[in-house]
Amino acid sequence: MTKQIELSLDGATATATLHEREAPKTAQRLWDALPVDAKFWHGRWSGSAGYALIPALQDPAAPLENRMSILAPGMVVVRSDHGEVMICYGPAQVRELAGNAWAAHVATLDGDASVFLAAVARVQHAGAKQLVVRRKGA
Partner 1 sequence: MARRVRVEVGGVRAVAELCEDLSPKTTEAFWQSLPIETTLAPAKWSGQACYFLPGAGPLKAVSENESPVCAIYPGYIVTRPGGSEALFAYGSSEYRWAVGTDYVTRVARLVEGRAAMLRTLAETHDSGDTTIRISREE
In whole angstroms, the minimum distance from the beta carbon of 109 to partner 1 comes to 20
DSSP 54-100: -GGG--TTS---SEESEE-TTEEEEETTTTEEEEEEEEEE-EETTEE
The two most distant CA atoms of the chain are separated, in Å, by 40
Q: Which of 124, 132, 134, 136 binds partner 1 (CB under 8 A)?
A: 124
CB contact at 8 A, 49 and 92: yes
Rounded to whole angstroms, how far apart are CA atoms 109 and 124? 20
The reply to whether 72 sits near partner 1 by the rule CB under 8 A is no
Q: Which is nearer to partner 1, 118 or 126 (CB)?
A: 126
Site for partner 1 in 75-104 (CB under 8 A): 91, 93, 95, 97
Q: Which of 44, 63, 72, 102 binds partner 1 (CB under 8 A)?
A: 44
Of 58, 127, 43, 132, residue with least CA distance to 88: 43
The reply to whether 60 sits near partner 1 by the rule CB under 8 A is no
Q: Which is nearer to partner 1, 28 or 124 (CB)?
A: 124
- The contact set with partner 1 (CB under 8 A) reads 41-48, 91, 93, 95, 97, 123-128
